[in-house]
Amino acid sequence: MSTRLATGGRLLNKSRALTFTFNGKSMKGFEGDTLASALLANDQMLVGRSFKYHRPRGIVASGAEEPNGLVNLGQGGRFEPNQRVTTTELFDGLTAKSQNHWPSLDFDVGALNSKMSRFMPAGFYYKTFMYPRPLWKHVYEPFIRKAAGLGAAPKDRDDDTYEHFYAFCDVLVIGGGVAGLQAAKAAADTGARVMLIEQTAHWGGRAPVDGGEVAGKSVDNFVDETVAALEAMENVTLRRRMMGAGVYDHGYVLGYERLTDHAPDAVGPRHRLWRIRAAQIVTATGAIERPLSFAGNDIPGVMLASAVRDYVTDFGVSPGDRTVVVTNNDNAYLTAIALKNAGLDVPAILDARVLPTDSALMAQAKSLGIRVLMGHGVSKVQGGKRVTGVAICSQAGEGSVLEEIACDVVAMSGGWSPVVHLWSHCGGKLVWDAGQAAFKPDVDKAPTGADGKPFVTAAGTASGALLLGDVLADADAAGKAAATAAGHAPAKGAAQAPDASHAPEAPMAPVWLMPQGAGIALRNKAWLDYQNDVKVSDVQLAAQEGFQSVEHAKRYTTLGMATDQGKLSNINGLAILSDSLNQPIPQTGTTTFRPPYTPISMGSIGGEARGDVFQPVRRTPMHAWHAENGAEWEPVGQWRRPYAYVRSGESSHDAVMRETKNARDNLGLLDASTLGKIIVRGPDAGKFLDMMYTNMMSTLKPGKCRYGLMCDENGFLIDDGVVARIDDDTWLCHTTTGGAERIHSHMEEWLQTEWWTWQVYVANVTEQYAQIAVVGPKARKALEHLGGMDVSAETMGFMDWADGTLGGFDVRVFRISFSGELSYEIAVKASQGQALWDALMAVGADLGVMPYGTECLHILRAEKGFIMIGDESDGTIIPQDLGLHWAISKKKEDFIGKRGQERSHMVDPTRWQLVGLETVDKSTLPDGAYAVAEGTNANGQRATEGRVTSTYHSPNLDRGIAMGLVLNGPDRMGEVLTFPGTDGKAYKAKIVSPVFYDPEGEKPNV
């Protein structure tokens, strides 16, 4: 039984009891508990089931390394799966449910897998489900997906908010244990800007549990005094509940701050993702204790020795009445001593080592009356859902049982591994420390910055110093070195690390398998990775089958691939692999450490970007009017343009048809503000535009407009638009809606990188103007009603522009047409855009004015055979494909794309050419459909000879019209092509001219 002790609990506020539920059962805890300590206090050792075999799983650890204690936390909009019980602070009303079991935690059908485990070794899925191949998609994968997985996926929208924060500092210290505190203090004393972050709610790390003295006083005292000193310094920021999630290039660090996880009713964001730029980083991330590999080491009740003493000391929780300690080092003796001091029973310490003399801790344990068996280990653990005892054996043997000891907890320690994750994220290398049997940072191969100099320093236990005095001295040096590297050298005679004393420890002895000669039956039950069910036998099998690289063995066995990313299993696993391969551990190496250190919430990554500000929506000055008048929106880049203005009782299609007819018969208004407008000015502007466009722009006269095409250097069409010459030195270039920024930077790039001596400046003035297209036979009347400018055919011919006043507005009027109708585009300052729109709607009332959207715009231009960038062009189309030879200057020596268009593939006469397509039965061709030809292509697919690029129902012609690219199209007028649709129908369409409506162009010519 695990239970709450009457005394102890360093971190608890016992005056504040909290209530929570686990699997619907109400339980009690105290303020200061983690969910793990509270569950143990309520005798809930069993917390989940493993991934593959659905084995019962209990709490193993007390911190971020916990592999088993994962729960579905919260409900509704606060539901979150895979939350670690050891890092979840208890709050009143917390609800948690265990994962990966059916129908219940106690009785799980999937646990049958465990009985079958002999038949499900490493690579089982790969070997079994490969053949026959179709079964993978339809049978195996759906079945495995159903059986696998840990937590449930959230179904509701997240109730919480999240944010980012950009911070800058000289020295960032990650980890608020004694090493982090000392490093921060040493760095801060130099005057450097220091930030110290700690993932838990408490300063001091494990030192207060493990004890020792600093400057003659208890280590707690040192922690309190150092925190107080740092808090008083203006150049220091201290943050708790903030994990260093990842270290990236150039001193960029992600800090994951959990603001309200422990207080869900608090106002404000739940998580804050800090995006920190630090000149120097100190990783004081401590160390993680390793499990030992013996049979039954996954049975609930088998825990890390350090975790057992954490629960006793920090939370006043007894994991069990009788604890057998099994170890290969002195450190675990602290657990036995702590348990004994708390009045609990320790029937034996099984020490795999054989030492000539008792160390200080051994002597202390023995003096407390604890039986210490040297050279012994666990043969196997007894029990199912809970430990009931251990069978002990000689470590040197094969597991013959010498004795059975009843117990309900096994506290194991296989030594300590420095947390090298953050050191390694950005390329820091490791060395093997044979004395500690652990990888530690190689100080000569630190991560380096742009200057080739190191920017990460490991400190304390994380750098391999295990004893208190060494930890503080190492951290002091690390803090000073980091500050110096950041430009803040310590003053002469700066304070040194305080003296510390700690019980001396005898050397540990590496133990990778217990007993060392364990046979297959025992190895088959000796777990390495608890969450993913990887055992010693699986890694050995992988090695035997040729997966010799540690990265391959990891993926074949799934060792270290679970949500804990192998914090407990990696070193043990690669030691087994090395042994199987008969090579030293450093030769095997480690798998790659990647951020984040522990999983961070998706919400924190998204930050503020959700709801209204998920992404920017660009609005024209008339956006609100459109919204109020039935606009259905079409996204065009980040802009929203009205697709159509739908009236009540009308479908979208009805609205489009109505708008299209009305623009041809009466008067239409289009919000064209989104079109790009770029000013190009300078003595060399004409020369520059002649290079930018395929046609000649330098010869354009002031007051005139010209339609132009732009290509990239390969000759492909990238944009089009109307260019107006404003004065001798100034041109105004219109771009497509999505093209303004792209074309602006295209121009800047050529000016800055190729033609920097040319006297040309460009400016993007797209948003300075609202632009309204006034379209239709009554367009001129509308402008005359506004009054103020002569817009007659005589004064303002087609492709003219003029500045003037209309209805009291200062405007620039372009007589241009993308519809084939009489049409004027009126530009006005954006801050008057809505007012002009209102004025046009008012004067148009008698003329049958209707606003129209982008779909109507498309139909109008398609009826006239005008191309659209993005429909007729797709990045592989040159103007010549579209019959636009007339817009490509033959006179110019050069323009961007000219050389590209001369290449053999571009002049290939079999390039598909633009034509009009008219369905035989007046139906509308499916968009993107291909015309089929006889025979098959090289891939055995049906041969094709054309495709649809634009297709609409034209209300003005009352039939389907389309444009497409067709092999030898212009030479095949009148031929009928077949376009199979995805609806199973075969559409027949005749090749015609792309100009369907008013082919003589008489309508705008009035």
Partner 1 sequence: MSKFVSALNNEAYAGGIADVREIGLQGMITLRGDLSSAAVKSAATSVASLSMPEAGQASTDGQHGLCWMSPDELLVLCPHDAVAANLEKMGQSLGDAHALYVDVSDARAVFELSGPHAREVLAKLVPVDLSPAAFTSGMFRRSRMAQIPAAFWLHAPDTFRIVTFRSNAQYAFDLLKVAAQPGSEVGYF
Closest approach, Cβ 695 to partner 1, in A, equals 24
Q: Which two tokens stand for residue 434?
A: 């044979």
Closest approach, Cβ 192 to partner 1, in A, equals 13
Closest approach, Cβ 260 to partner 1, in A, equals 9
For partner 1, the closer CB: 808 or 999:
808
For partner 1, the closer CB: 544 or 831:
831
CA–CA separation, 335 and 312 (whole Å): 9
For partner 1, the closer CB: 159 or 499:
159
Closest approach, Cβ 624 to partner 1, in A, equals 9
Closest approach, Cβ 853 to partner 1, in A, equals 18
The amino acid occupying position 638 is Q
CA–CA separation, 569 and 290 (whole Å): 8
Q: Is the previous residue joined to 132 through a cis bond, with omega within 30 degrees of 0?
A: yes
Closest approach, Cβ 846 to partner 1, in A, equals 21
For partner 1, the closer CB: 832 or 889:
832
Tell the residue number behind the tokens 């400046």, with chain if given. Answer: 761
- Main-chain dihedrals φ then ψ at residue 886, nearest 5 degrees: -65, -20
- Main-chain dihedrals φ then ψ at residue 574, nearest 5 degrees: -75, -20
For partner 1, the closer CB: 495 or 627:
627
Residue 939's contacts (CB-CB under 8 Å, 6 or more residues apart) are none
For partner 1, the closer CB: 286 or 621:
621
Closest approach, Cβ 482 to partner 1, in A, equals 19
- Main-chain dihedrals φ then ψ at residue 657, nearest 5 degrees: -60, -45
- By C-alpha distance, which of 244, 263, 252, 166 is closest to 198? 244
Closest approach, Cβ 156 to partner 1, in A, equals 20
CB of 56 within 8 A of CB of 45? no
Closest approach, Cβ 727 to partner 1, in A, equals 11
For partner 1, the closer CB: 650 or 767:
767
For partner 1, the closer CB: 102 or 165:
165
Please state the length of the chain. Answer: 1006
The amino acid occupying position 886 is W
User: What's the burial of 704, exposed, middle or buried (CB within 10 Å: 0-12/13-18/19+)?
Assistant: middle
Closest approach, Cβ 737 to partner 1, in A, equals 11
For partner 1, the closer CB: 652 or 768:
768
Binding site for partner 1 (CB under 8 A): 161, 163-168, 193, 237, 266-269, 272, 275, 277, 607-609, 612-613, 615-621, 638-639, 679, 681-683, 759, 761-763, 765-769, 808-809, 829-832, 834-836, 839
Closest approach, Cβ 634 to partner 1, in A, equals 16
For partner 1, the closer CB: 58 or 833:
833
Closest approach, Cβ 143 to partner 1, in A, equals 42
CA–CA separation, 951 and 210 (whole Å): 76
Question: What is the chain's alpha carbon radius of gyration, rounded to the nearest angstrom?
Answer: 38
CA–CA separation, 544 and 421 (whole Å): 29
Closest approach, Cβ 674 to partner 1, in A, equals 8
For partner 1, the closer CB: 504 or 808:
808
For partner 1, the closer CB: 130 or 617:
617
For partner 1, the closer CB: 95 or 834:
834
Tell the residue number behind the tokens 């290939």, with chain if given. Answer: 908
For partner 1, the closer CB: 681 or 742:
681
User: What's the burial of 560, exposed, middle or buried (CB within 10 Å: 0-12/13-18/19+)?
Assistant: buried
CA–CA separation, 960 and 925 (whole Å): 7
CA–CA separation, 15 and 984 (whole Å): 74
Q: Is the previous residue joined to 515 through a cis bond, with omega within 30 degrees of 0?
A: yes
For partner 1, the closer CB: 692 or 917:
692
Closest approach, Cβ 931 to partner 1, in A, equals 40
Tell the residue number behind the tokens 């799983």, with chain if given. Answer: 57
Q: Which two tokens stand for residue 1003?
A: 């309508």
Q: How far is CA 469 from CA 203, 436, 466, 499, in A?
A: 18, 17, 9, 6
Q: What are 864-868's contacts with CB under 8 Å, separation 24+?
A: 864/819, 864/820, 864/995, 864/996, 864/997, 864/998, 865/916, 865/963, 865/993, 865/994, 865/995, 865/996, 866/818, 866/820, 867/720, 867/914, 867/963, 868/950
Question: Residue ranges of the alpha helices (H) in 243-330?
Answer: 305-315
DSSP string, 943-970: EEEEEEEEEEEETTTTEEEEEEEETTGG
Closest approach, Cβ 748 to partner 1, in A, equals 10
Residue 745's contacts (CB-CB under 8 Å, 6 or more residues apart) are none
> 578: part of which helix (H) or strand (E)?
helix 570-581
CB of 457 within 8 A of CB of 446? yes
Closest approach, Cβ 271 to partner 1, in A, equals 12
**Beta-bridge partners for 787:** none
Closest approach, Cβ 240 to partner 1, in A, equals 12
Go through 882-902 and write b for each residue having 16 or more CB atoms within 10 A of its CB, e for each that does not.
bbbeebbbeebeebbbbebbe
CA–CA separation, 891 and 297 (whole Å): 84
- By C-alpha distance, which of 239, 270, 275 is closest to 254? 275
Closest approach, Cβ 166 to partner 1, in A, equals 5
- By C-alpha distance, which of 646, 755, 645 is closest to 691? 755
For partner 1, the closer CB: 193 or 858:
193
Q: Which two tokens stand for residue 889?
A: 């200057």
Axis-axis angle for helices 536-544, 570-581 (nearest 10)? 40
For partner 1, the closer CB: 101 or 641:
641
For partner 1, the closer CB: 515 or 676:
676
